[in-house]
A and B are shown apart, each in its own frame.
Chain A
């Protein structure tokens, strides 16, 4: 087929749908979108370069500020990488506290992603419901760590603060609120005819494209690919984690998969709170020289830190591979190809949950 381009349409960098600046260049023929290209580079700060030569008490703050939405997981993965190099052990209580905070973070990140999607397809009622529900998770995080975003909760050898029994009870109460409210919203999303019109069968990622690209996280799992770094952690299995897969591989599947994972996260938090045993939360430990590649499941997929430190604990080399990089690429080249309408470009892009700050650092 001969490609006839009518209009080359740029979307962004400032666009009502985007939380962050990025530009999507669409080549359109009539209303049909032929190809798209995502142009990045608006929020590059050079964090990896700044990290070099700094000890852990400064790098964890830089790592947190790679991404504001999933700051907890960046903090977790850099600290766990440093612990792996130095052979520092963490007590069981601290490990479970880390998992509880990570799952709370996943809840707020998934809710924000689904809010963005609902907002983009102009279902503002459901979007506001989800954003309000997110505040419940944010309040729990604030109660646990003292801050809403950028909590700096995880330190080598343990966590910053202990969770008191009354705060644990409050978080348990919040999980019940989350679950009952979520059930209603998921029903609204699942049965809404207008939502189905804008979501089902749109932005389909074919199986070949998904296998060929390095797509990770919920975007891969909505395609039936079992890619989840939590699988390697025995503690997660103990707390009731299991792989959730969907096979429709369209926008609807990606959003529904996030909803299903929210229920699982709520369950993990509950099991974690029940499994908390009294004990120390900090072990201390000296830094040793070495290099390691450590992967943890972020809300958006596999997050890998390749980090080398010297004997004093200062960073010699660091490379961050964030899940948004493959997801943005696959969104621009495979998902947004041959869309029926320009209006679906932004919603398909948002359904892959791209985090521009993560991708550029």
Chain B
């Protein structure tokens, strides 16, 4: 590299222009930046979809203040992925232009629950069956051992064996997981990313 090349480097019109008109951009985020989600003011139905899909532990809570449910984002835990914005069916949360893009492109997360029982660990005590709030609504007479005469219930003990009858009824409350003494039952949330036809 010769002296000439140094001089020609600094005599470029674009260099001279940028030297005299240098300006630092203001310290703001662009409008499409996915910032911490904020409330849009729409009514929250307390469906907890946002909380269920959140990948970060303890990042979102749905709390009741003055009789109104509203999600609250906890800074320091939230990773700003925007999944809650996309998962909310009501459009309560917004972040950057994600909500607008979701509406425009028909982006959606669907989910379903499935109950997995580890047969090696399950001893058929029926704790989960009696604790399940869906079961209690369908069959209030459910037996203490988890047996039931109704075949409409979500889960029941048949011949000493815990059997899932209607997976689709599960609401994903995970009460069964909390009552199981052996950690044999798992509620799995299957999420699918789909696009609705325009």
Contacts and interface: CB of A to CB of B under 8 A. Distances in A.
Assess A/B contact in the complex (Cβ within 8 A): yes
Interface of A: 55-58, 60-61, 142-143, 146-147, 150, 152, 155-158, 160-162, 184, 188, 191-193, 280-287, 310, 312-314
Given A147-B80, A282-B195, A142 B32 contact: yes
A312 B1 contact: no
B107 interface: yes
A312 B9 CA distance: 60
B34 A57 contact: no
B98 A285 contact: no
A146 B34 CA distance: 5
Given A142-B33, A191-B5, A312-B190, A281 B195 contact: yes
A310 B188 CA distance: 11
A285 B192 contact: yes
B188 A57 contact: no
B6 to A, nearest CB: 10
A142 B35 CA distance: 12
A164 to B, nearest CB: 8
Contacts of B189: 55
A188 B1 contact: yes
21 contacts: A57-B83, A57-B191, A58-B55, A61-B56, A142-B30, A142-B33, A143-B32, A146-B34, A146-B82, A146-B96, A150-B81, A157-B192, A161-B105, A188-B9, A191-B1, A192-B1, A281-B195, A284-B193, A286-B192, A312-B114, A314-B188
B171 interface: no
Nearest to A190: B1
Contacts of A184: 9
Given A142-B33, A146-B97, A280 B195 contact: yes
From B34, B56, B190, B192, residue with most partner A Cβ within 10 Å: B192
B164 to A, nearest CB: 13
Contacts of B188: 55, 312-314
